[in-house]
Every structure is written in C-alpha cells, then in structure tokens.
Amino acid sequence: MKPITVAIAQLDFTVGAIKRNTETMLHCLGQHEDADIVVFPELAVTGYPPEDLLFRSDFEQLVSDALTRIADAAQQQVAIVGHPQRVGSELFNSVSVLHRGKCLARYHKQRLPQYGVFDEQRYFIPGHEACVFDWQGHRIGVLVCEDLWHPEPLKRTREAGADWIVSLNASPYEVDKHEQRLHVLQQRVHESGLPIVYVNNCGGQDELVFDGHSMVVNSDGQVVAELPHCQPTIALVRFEATGIRPLDAVHSPQPTAEGKAEITTQRLEQVRQALVLAIRDYVTKNGFKGVTLGLSGGIDSALTMALAVEALGAAAVHAVMMPFRYTSKMSLEDAEQQARTLGVKYDVIAIEPIYESFLQQLAPQLADHSPDVTEENLQARSRGVLLMALSNKTGSLVLTTGNKSELAVGYCTLYGDMCGGFAPIKDVPKTMVFALSRHINSSAGEQLIPQRVIERPPSAELAPGQTDQDNLPDYEVLDKIISLYVEQDWAPSEIVDAGFSQADVLRVVRLIDINEYKRRQGAVGPKITSRNFNKDRRYPITNHFRYEMERQLTTEARHEKN
C-alpha cells in the first residue's frame, strides 16, 4: 500500500445551515488538496441533531444539492461526508464517499441510539450492510458513532476486508466522556486489530456541546494522534508502511503518570472550555448582539459572567446589580469589583420602588395574609422584569445564573431568577461551581472572581441573615444525593443504605420530584454531567410515584426499629 494522508475535519456545523455547512466543507477541501481523504463528522451537511427538520421535503432537497456540490468539488481527494439519505420511504443516517462528481460508496448507520439525549429511532431506519471502499491500495471501512459502541458493526466491516476504519461522530460532551470513548475504541481495536480514525463534531447546539477531541488509534490500541478539546481543528495524519504518524497541528499524546490533582485540574479545564463554547455558539448562532445578566455578588452569577466574558468578550456583556434592602454591602462591593476587573458594562438599578409598587397594588388581596415566600419571590420577579426589558430593548440575551443543585430542589423563582434564554451552568452542581471558580482564578493568576465571593456562605439575600443551607443539607451531601437519584437512578432506600440521613434523602428527593414543573419552564443550558434536566431526564410533572417511594422507605425504617 502506498502512503495515504487523511485530513480530520473536526469542525463546527450548525443545525439547519445546509448551505453554510456546505461552504465550510468546500473551503476545507480547497485548503487541503494535498490530502488523499478528507473526513467530516456525522450528519455534517445538516448539523446534529436535525430533529424534526428531517420531516421536511424542502430540507431533503437542500441536502441532495449539497452532496452534488461536495462531490463536484472533491477533485483531488475523496470526501467522506455524513448526511441523511432517503431511500424510498425509508430515511437513513448515512455517509457518502464522494469523488469527482460520483458517489464511490454509501453506508447507512447500523446502531441508532435511543437513550439519554438521543432520539434517532424516531427518524432513521438502521442499516445492515458493511461498507468498505478501495482507495490507493487501502481498503477503508466506514462506521458512524454508535456503531463503535457495539462489537458487531466493526466485526462485520472487518469480515468485509477493511484494513482500517473511519468513524464519523457527533458525540456530545460530558465529564470524562473522552476517557469513555478511548476505552471503547481500544476495545474495538483489541477485538479487530484494525486502526481507527475517530472524527468528532465540535460546537454548541442548544443543550449539547460537541467537544471534538478526535483521535487516531493504531492497531496496538495506542493513541497516535489527538485533536484539541472544544476547538474546531483540521489536522492531517499519514498512513505509511511503518505505521501512522501525525502531521502539522495534530499531536501525539505522551503517556503520563498524572496524580489526582492533575486529573481534577484537567477535568475542570475541559468543563470550562465546554461551557465557553456552548455560550459562544448559542449566542452567535442565534444572532444575539450580546448578553445581559443579573450580577448579585454571589458565586453563581460571578462564574456565569466570567464564562460569558471569555466566550464573547467584555464588550458583549452587560452586568446589572439590582440591590434591595437585604443586599449586603459585601455583595455590592464584590459585584462592582468583578465588573471592573472584567471590564464589562455595569449598571446598578434598585428594585425597592418596583417591589413597593407591587405590594401596594396587591395590598387589598394580601391584607389577610402574613408575609411569607411570596414577598421573597416578588423581589426576584422584580429583577426578572428589569432584565427582560433590557433584553427587549437592546437585543441582548438574558443569561440565567442558576446551578444544577438549586434547579434540582426548586430553589429558584419562576419568572424571577429563572427569566432568560440560556442557562450556562444549569447542569453544573454547586460543588463544581466552587471548584470551577477557583480553577478560573488559578489559571488566570488573578481574581477574575473575587475571593470573598468564593469563600462566603451562599445566600439569595431575600431575607435577613438568609443562607442556602438554612433548609438544605451541606452542598457536598446535597450534590451526592442529587447525583445518585437523578444521574444514577438510585432508589431513595438505596441512598439511605449508602449512609445518608433518611430525613435528608426524603426531603431532597421530594423537592426534586415536585419541582419538575419549574424545570420544564426553564431555559436550556449545556449538558456536562451524565444526565441533565431536559432531554436526558424526562419525568412526568404529575407524578405520584414519589408517594410510593416515601411509603416504602418509612415502612422499612419502622421495620428496622421493631
């Protein structure tokens, strides 16, 4: 076999932007005429996931036109392109191998994921045949994403005579996902003995973040080339008689003996990059001029603003402090300090007159009621009205600043602090909010987030002396219970058996279940854990199963006492 050069096009493709995606691929082909093969990610023509756009006939015609243009442009090299393909009444998640106006081979994805955020069986029919094409003496097998997570598709491709594999992917990010992918690739290589070129999408799409991190694994299971995390990149690798070697921007990772601290730092850095990419793509792809957020002097809004500035630049960020009688001097000082440090536009708008006006108008209706959470929520809703007015007037997007822990238990106000169009940290647990904030400061070598904000007890400051822990377990405990119940589907009794207080478990689980109606009305935000609130976890709002769980747990506790 003669040497062959493969261009890995780890690029950012936008859902529905078929013409723009096509232009991106044509530009890539023009810039890499020295490559023998250029590989694009799964469904690159349409972006991933196209969802119900796939039902439109006019959508299909644009896809067909795009494939014709790409095939005509691939004069010097082969283009391997992911796209939907209709055959009669059946729609496939397909790959075409294109060269000089012709389709040399076509593959239909065999394994269609139907779990978590994936819904491919709603749209596609699975393929059943292997695809191996010949190019310059190489027999190259084609697979798509989920195919690699099962042994049969690769086994079938190897039996069809493949020398090595190209896998097109749109694999969303979550913490430690790269390690999971690498384990799967090495397992498939061990079973087949075939090298794998793994090409992943890279960009933000609503609540999904595609982190790139494409790689090439040789026949010994070693990673010989690895592309960056969350950075659109085109890189070359060369298949030679002596093996596979990376060229230009791609690098060959070196084995290290990282300790726990280094692994934790790397994990936090990857989360930071994923959140930044998600903010940047959501704002720019949806045509917003910038973002507006409420800066409270607390850690959640401080982290959100730091991420937004990194994603968009300080000129595109407008921070608004909206103090009330319970807002501490410390909060005012820290908010102003951070705004000044990051260089954003900063305004202070007091909500006291608005709040008093609301109370005055409601006085006849509330006269027979004692003050309670209603008055606290009015504060948050006054702030929400102001932020949305600024958004309407300036064309900016309001970023909500709630984290996963408070959204889980409903410590947020509908039409108040939940107002907004995008929630950057909605899948970030509170303990990770603190860790990320410390990491950002450490990486920057300065306090982009004021140290007092990180160190002080968290508080919504809706009442005198209020802290988040007044009615909740410590966040270390709370986040573990949330993880077990939400992300791992443990029963409450199992969580108690693992050593957690029954009272804490019952309270937290009840709060999670009864606040589904709030979360359903919240803004989308990027998924970074194994299960987020939205597509990943689809619980009914009207849900009495919690009564069965509570009854079982309290019954078991009584039996133990007897």
Phi, psi of 240 (to 5 degrees): -130, 170
> Among the options 28, 120, 131, 145, which is catalytic?
145
Q: Does 152 participate in catalysis according to the annotation?
A: no
How many Cβ atoms sit within 10 Å of the Cβ of residue 101?
12
CB burial string 424-447: b at 16+ within 10 A, e below:
bbbbbbbbbbbbbbebbbeeeeeb
> Among the options 28, 109, 202, 207, which is catalytic?
109
Q: For residue 449, is it left (φ>0), alpha (ψ between -120 and 50) or beta?
A: beta
Between strands 243-247 and 233-240, the pairing is antiparallel
Could you give the angle at the alpha carbon of 177 between the alpha carbons of 284 and 505, nearest 5°?
100
Find the helix or strand (DSSP H, E) in which 375 lies: helix 373-394
- Could you report how far apart the first and last alpha carbons of the chain are, in Å? 76
Q: How far apart are CA 411 and CA 403, in angstroms?
A: 10
Report the SS3 class of residue 491.
coil
Could you give the angle at the alpha carbon of 144 between the alpha carbons of 143 and 145, nearest 5°?
125
> Among the options 28, 42, 426, 480, which is catalytic?
42
Q: Judging by beta carbons within 10 Å of its beta carbon (0-12, 13-18, 19+), is residue 107 exposed, middle or buried?
A: buried
Structure token pair of residue 159 = 């039996």
Whether the Cβ atoms of residue 321 and residue 345 lie closer than 8 Å to each other:
no
- The DSSP secondary-structure symbol of 341 reads H
Q: Who's near 186: CB < 8 A, 6+ residues apart?
A: 217, 221
Q: Among candidates 121, 110, 124, which has minimal Cα distance to 154?
A: 110
Q: Does 419 participate in catalysis according to the annotation?
A: no
Q: Rg of the chain's alpha carbons, rounded to an integer?
A: 26
> What's the Cα-to-Cα distance from 77 to each of 6, 19, 143, 353, 423, rounded to whole Å?
10, 21, 20, 67, 42
Structure token pair of residue 287 = 């045509």
Length of the chain: 562
Q: Does 42 participate in catalysis according to the annotation?
A: yes
Give catalytic residue positions.
42, 109, 145
